[in-house]
Amino acid sequence: MPSDHDLVNFSETHELNYVLRKVGKNQTEANRSKLVTMGDELKSKLNKRIVNHKEFFDYVNTQLHRLQ
């Protein structure tokens, strides 16, 4: 089981802001909301309840056009 540090917590603003900083996008409420949606999409796609940072970053990098 991965540690909590390796997993994305979509209810934590600072974690979502970290993702946005890492991909060079604005830290706005709209972008954080889109990340939560992307997290739900990825969990559904992978048939998982939780995703790790690598899985999520890989997915977000394919969806950059959705963020400002």
Q: What is the pLDDT along the chain (68 residues), one digit of tens a residue?
A: 567 679 999 999 999 999 999 999 999 999 999 999 999 999 999 999 999 999 999 999 999 999 99
Range of the domain at 31: 4-66
Spatial separation of the C-alpha atoms in residues 17 and 36, rounded to whole Å: 12
What's the total number of domains in the chain?
A: 1
Global pTM value: 0.93
Spatial separation of the C-alpha atoms in residues 28 and 8, rounded to whole Å: 18
* Phi, psi angle pair for 14, to nearest 5°: -65, -30
Handedness of CA 17, 15, 48, 6 (dihedral sign): positive
DSSP 49: S
